[in-house]
Amino acid sequence: MKVLYDTQVFAWQRFGGISRYFVELMRHMPKGISPVLPAPFFSENAYLPDLGMRLPVKRLDIGSFRLRKKLYEWADNSMARQQLRGGAFDVFHPTYYNDYFMNAIGRKPFVLTVHDFTHERYPDLLPDSRKVIKRKKRLAMAASRIIAISENTRRDIMEYYGIDESKIDVIHHGYSSLSSREAAVEGISGPYLLFVGDRKGYKNFSGLAEAFASLAKADRGVRLVCAGSPLSDAETKLLNVLGIRDSVTAVQATNAQLLWLYRHAACFVYPSLYEGFGLPVLEAFGAGCPVAVSSTSCFPEVARDGAVYFDPSDPGSIASAVAGILDDSDATRSLTRRASAVLRGYSWERTARQTAETYRKSM
């Protein structure tokens, strides 16, 4: 069976869970499935070399970034439509929600992976939400099969779109180590809590900041390290108001450095109000880092008994969960052993095998 993918996500995502998901799928497809990914017109994606693909270097030094992005998108979509009309494939699997291909695919089946409903739940926080929402719903309604990356996402698909569950296959992400080696981050020492990723609205960084402030007042002797973008002016102001600015560090880390941060953290804290899957939980499990995570959304489904849970709407609950990890070393060792057992249930081979079965069902 020949499965055709497009280059949507690789054109705009340098790092990120969605592009990593598709690369791992293609790398681990079982025998009998031939993945076909055209080379994108231009990409800086960090994971494509894992497929043996040399990154294109046809950067256009004209106009604004927005104009170049539109030109790259037009070139990639034109190439994809040409391949779709050629029909030399059995199943098509688009890598994001652009519906450009609907007039070119004919009667061939396509499978859509729905990752989350952040645009629908938080439209004011994300760019082009109205366009993404409209396109995603159109594709979901037309798809031969839908892959939901968690039971939580499956419920969202049924709630928002009214699609029958018989059309949806729940297939969890797999796990692979961030890096084959670790690299220390200069200036980070002593016990610290770790926060990873974006800090906008629903990620609930403000709730974590309030919880950390109460831990700081109790003289816990820990810092807060944020792996991600530099602190914004608004975040700096919040930390100053809470009196914890000097105890919070933001670092932009490579995968090797992120692995080091996980391995040396006293606790990884994930206070997000909503996620489709929550891959950083598995990253922390893989590094042997104790995890405190929200009790909402997909997290109990993914982390199971390998994490300590808290109410993300209550900073006191967050602080209490973290304090429990800091104070009870025996319980924490037991927690990380359970996390290791949970992690063994996640593999990209399994994800790819189940996805191949979805491809077969779509035909």
pLDDT of the residue at 180: 81
pLDDT of the residue at 59: 56
Q: CA distances (Å), 30 to each of 2, 282, 284, in order? A: 12, 23, 28
- H helix or E strand, kind and range, residue 168: strand 168-170
Residue 356 backbone phi and psi in degrees, to 5: -60, -35
Residue with tokens 């692995």: 259
Domains of the chain with bracketed CATH = 2-174+347-362 (3.40.50.2000), 192-343 (3.40.50.2000)
CA atoms within 13 A on the CB side of 241: 9
CA atoms within 13 A on the CB side of 64: 3
First to last CA, the chain: 10
pLDDT by residue, tens only, the chain of 363 residues: 999 999 999 988 877 889 999 999 999 999 999 999 988 877 878 888 888 876 655 555 666 667 777 777 888 888 889 999 999 999 999 999 999 999 999 999 999 999 999 999 999 888 889 999 999 999 999 999 999 999 999 999 999 999 999 999 999 999 988 888 999 999 998 899 999 999 999 999 999 999 999 999 988 889 999 999 999 999 999 999 999 999 999 999 988 999 999 999 999 999 999 999 999 999 999 999 999 999 999 999 999 999 999 999 999 999 999 999 999 999 999 999 999 999 999 999 999 999 999 999 999
Residues 6 or more apart from 37 whose CB is under 8 A from it?
5, 7, 26, 51, 53
Nearest CA among 272, 276, 223, 218 for reference residue 245:
223
pLDDT of the residue at 291: 99
Is the CB of residue 269 less than 8 Å from the CB of residue 193?
Answer: yes
**How far is Cα of residue 56 from the mean position of the Cα atoms in its chain?**
24
Nearest CA among 127, 256, 250 for reference residue 198:
250
Nearest CA among 172, 129, 128 for reference residue 147:
172
What is the token pair recorded at 2? Answer: 């020949």
**Neighbouring-strand partners of residue 332:** none
pLDDT of the residue at 65: 64
- For residues 295 and 320, give the distance between their C-alpha atoms in angstroms, rounded to a whole number: 14
Is the CB of residue 268 less than 8 Å from the CB of residue 248?
Answer: no
pLDDT of the residue at 78: 87
